[in-house]
Amino acid sequence: MSALEDALASSRDDERRRAARALLKRPLLRASDEAFGLVRRYAPELREWFDRNTGWRLHVDSEVARLVKQPATTGDATHPARDVRSKQPFGRRRYVLTCLALGALERGDAQITLGRLAEQVVIGAADPAITEAGMKFSLAARDERSDLVAVVRLLLELGVLNRVAGNEDAFLADTGDALYDVERRVLAALLATPRGPSTVAHEEFEQRLAELTAEIPPTTDDLRNQHIRHRLTRRLLDEPVVYYEELTEDERTYLSGQRGAIVARINELTGLVAEVRAEGIAMVDEADDLTDVRMPESGTEGHATLLLAEYLAQHAEPVPIVELHAELRRLAAEHKGYWRRSAQEHGAEVELTDTALTKLTALRLITRTPEAVSALPALARYTVTEPSIEGRR
């Protein structure tokens, strides 16, 4: 009986871990998602863990599971929304169109065509507050239609829309339309802020963002410790590396005494393993499926990023970006038999360098300015040294 009980307990732990990882990977799950059943089964335990350790609220019903995450910081711009097909990051106009589209869907019917949605977005974009901010949208140009299609594909990916007929390519070419079901439960669960945006009075972006994400300040020592625990656990779950120098003095003091307990709880729930160094902590995912930015990767960009990381790791001082361009040109010539042909073209090193630096910044391995790049401590793991042979030949 003891062996059977141990096997059942191990199976439950594994299922709960899979459910937690599914929520961390995709905080909004629909009933059709593979992990939805596990999340519903372990909802009480998951809800209690996230509430106690992160302050995140977990909502689960028969159609949607939503982990309402709050970021530890709001200054990280390295993980933008991306086009589902091209993987290009959203620009300012696409973010505005996303908000306008969600507002139109909230006010609309249970079904909507892409053409009708476009009309509603154009009407919304004509609001004086939007036009005075320099945002214009009229669907007159193909790039505007392309931006709206990118937004719709993101909403399809999130599950807000469900395609019934037609396709977005026909709308983009102005030869047809598409029909969608609007998933009301998913739409209602999408917003993840402590308060509604319409209740924010400030006009400046930074002030609006701060007010939108503000939480009730702690008033007792226990609540202050809880608040610190929430911030630290959020960062360890969300960020590739947490550097001690970026923490407040209270956070460093709390972490010095509670580090073992915090990382043990994260490991028990998620399977992430703590890599503790003198400069900070990284929660390493051995399964490598809880990140939106992977390294190393195959292909020209992946290889170039890895080689550039090795180059930067050898420099203690900031490296000028023009020097990195020159290094990429050299690497392209050295690996021309393996890299795609376009990498040999004049100017290709600029795009390759920018792609590599964007990834390294998102992984918290470097910091960059328009002129230079500086390595962060975690980049040292990509340092390559000459091999040494010990003992007799």
Residue tagged 């019903």 (tokens): 61
Instruction: Give the pTM.
Output: 0.88
Provide the sign of the torsion angle of the four alpha carbons 70, 71, 74, 78, taken in this order: negative
Q: What is the residue-wise DSSP string for 142-202? A: HHHHHHHHHHHHHHHHHTSEEEEEE-HHHHHTTS--EEEEE-HHHHHH----SS-GGG---
Ranking 157-161, 169-173, 286-290, 336-340 by mean pLDDT, the lowest is 286-290
Strand partners, 365: none
pLDDT: which is higher, 115 or 388 = 115
pLDDT given for residue 204 in this prediction: 84
pLDDT given for residue 50 in this prediction: 97
Taking Cα atoms as reference points, which of 25, 49, 48, 39 lies closest to residue 269? 49
Per-residue confidence band for 391, with pLDDT thresholds at 50, 70 and 90:
low
Q: How far apart are CA 343 and CA 287, in angstroms?
A: 31
pLDDT given for residue 68 in this prediction: 94
Ordered structural domains, the chain, with CATH: 2-68 (no CATH), 72-214 (no CATH), 221-284 (1.10.10), 299-382 (1.10.10)
Per-residue confidence band for 14, with pLDDT thresholds at 50, 70 and 90:
very high
pLDDT given for residue 387 in this prediction: 60
Whether residue 375 is predicted with pLDDT greater than 80 in this model: the reply is: yes
- What token pair was written down for 200? 């924010």
pLDDT given for residue 304 in this prediction: 94
pLDDT: which is higher, 101 or 195 = 101
- For residues 30 and 64, the answer to whether their CB atoms sit within 8 Å is yes
pLDDT given for residue 392 in this prediction: 55
- 99, with CB counted inside 10 A (0-12, 13-18, 19+), is middle
pLDDT given for residue 386 in this prediction: 58
Q: In sequence order, which residues have a C-beta less than 8 Å from that of residue 23 and are 6 or more positions away?
A: 29, 35, 39, 46, 58, 65, 67
Give me the mean pLDDT over the 328-335 stretch: 93
Give me the mean pLDDT over the 95-106 stretch: 95
Mean pLDDT of the residues in the chain: 91
Residue tagged 């350790």 (tokens): 53
Per-residue confidence band for 11, with pLDDT thresholds at 50, 70 and 90:
confident
Q: How far apart are CA 262 and CA 283, in angstroms?
A: 11
| For the chain, percent of residues with pLDDT exceeding 90 | 72
